[in-house]
Amino acid sequence: MYKHFVAIIALTSQMGIFAQNGGASQDDLQLNAITTSLPFMSITPDSRAGGMGDAGTALSGTSASIYWNTSALIFAKERTELGLSYVPWLRQLTNDIHLSYLSGYHQISDRHVFGGAIRFFNLGEITYTTNEAQVIRTDKPSEWELTGAYGFRLSEKMAIGVNGKFAYSNLTGGIPQGGVISKPAIAGASDLSFTYYNDNVRYGSTRGEYTFATTINNIGNKVSYSELNTRDFIPMNLKIGNALKFDFDDYNSITWSTDLQRLLVPTPPIVDNGTGQILAGRNNDVGVISGMVQSFYDAPGTPVKDQQGNIETNDDGTYVVAKNSRLKEELAEINIATGLEYWYNDLLALRTGFFYENRTKGGRQFMNLGFGLKYNNFNIDMSYLLAVGNRNSPLANTLRFSFRMVLGKQE
């Protein structure tokens, strides 16, 4: 009975995601995207999840799990693994931006796992000029991140994980910007993760596995690229994932993975450009922890307009906000990622997925295709991104390449 209950809950929760999203109309929301510093920390590096709509939080443990969910490494089928990924980035705009990601882990016992990763983002060659278009110099700005990871088994089916990170972003090479001295941005951050994994589930007459996982990523200090007091949040985010694996027989299996993802960064308020008064929403110049909590209830919503098109105001000068528009905007900040993975004989994998971000919060919407090959101790994965609705999207035609090598199998 328990196994059937888990299966029903899992399927219901995943279908409910789409029902909820479809029921809330976003037509009356205004554009209000949330931006952060060091966005390279959120670029998906691996080709497996990259071929499944970026739904990687609850996928089975691999070396790429250090990015997605370190606690999943406790349940990884390999004892030791090393992985390398390469992502040519924004190929619609330029041909010299790329992300490289090297990661690995080792299970020292059935209760403890250690790992680490290095992320390097090369922004290509940039020529700096004066306001009079005189060349100052040519530079190759870059960003990198160093991660240490640890996972611990709480019980037979549950585990937690924690990452420590150091990130360095040098975008200007020390060249003054607008008369202000620039400097690299430096951040210290951490990830927290939890996984529930049951490898003995039955979906009707079909054997399978069920995974629930949640992570909070990039909990870290605000950063600045200048000597000014203005500091920006890094991309702190919350992810909640479910993965259902169906083992049809000894040769064929399918995994369905779905993530809910949202930034834990305050939403920009509507501000009077002349006076600086907040007309709707809340002040987003707050501390890290306050900002994470505030991100759940600070959406400014949509101002109400009269028949002449003028915004209605309260006695204190703030905007009158449309009923339920704040809640709708909060829901619009939830991104949905879902994907399927089919394996034949543990040798060949075919993948597809879809990622949805509301148009008022950035509008990233794309489909993914991917495949994987496994031979002895080697895995090769590749994925392709197809932009939906905007063929000129800078993300269109993104390719990801990954290589994983098993260095130690379970005894």
pLDDT of residue 199: 95
| Dihedral over alpha carbons 337, 26, 33, 363 (to 10 degrees) | 50
Domain ranges of the chain: 2-267+333-409
Q: Burial, 128: exposed, middle or buried (Cβ in 10 Å; 0-12, 13-18, 19+)?
A: middle
pLDDT of residue 178: 64
Residue 107's contacts (CB-CB under 8 Å, 6 or more residues apart) are 73, 74, 76, 79, 80, 113
**How many degrees, rounded to 5, is the angle at CA 123 between CA 222 and CA 371?**
100
Mean pLDDT to the nearest integer, 150-154: 98
pLDDT of residue 7: 38
pLDDT in tens, 195-243: 999 999 999 999 999 999 999 999 999 999 887 768 999 999 999 999 9
331 band by pLDDT with thresholds 50, 70 and 90: very high
In the chain the first and final C-alpha atoms are separated, in Å, by 32
DSSP conformation letters of 26-47: -TTPPP-----S-GGGGS---H
pLDDT of residue 25: 41
pLDDT in tens, 250-308: 999 999 999 999 999 999 999 998 888 999 999 999 999 999 999 999 999 999 999 88
Whose tokens are 């390279």? That residue is: 40
CA 389 to chain CA mean position, Å: 21
Q: Does domain 2-267+333-409 have CATH number 2.40.33.10?
A: no
Tokens of 258: 């779905």
Tokens of 166: 């150091």
pLDDT of residue 177: 64
Given a cut of 50, whether residue 20 has pLDDT beyond it is no
pLDDT of residue 187: 97
Per-residue CA distances from 131 to 124, 135, 386 (Å): 22, 10, 38
Given a cut of 70, whether residue 10 has pLDDT beyond it is no
- Residue 298 corresponds to which amino acid? D
Residue 293 backbone phi and psi in degrees, to 5: -70, -45
139 band by pLDDT with thresholds 50, 70 and 90: confident
CB 151 within 8 A of CB 159: yes
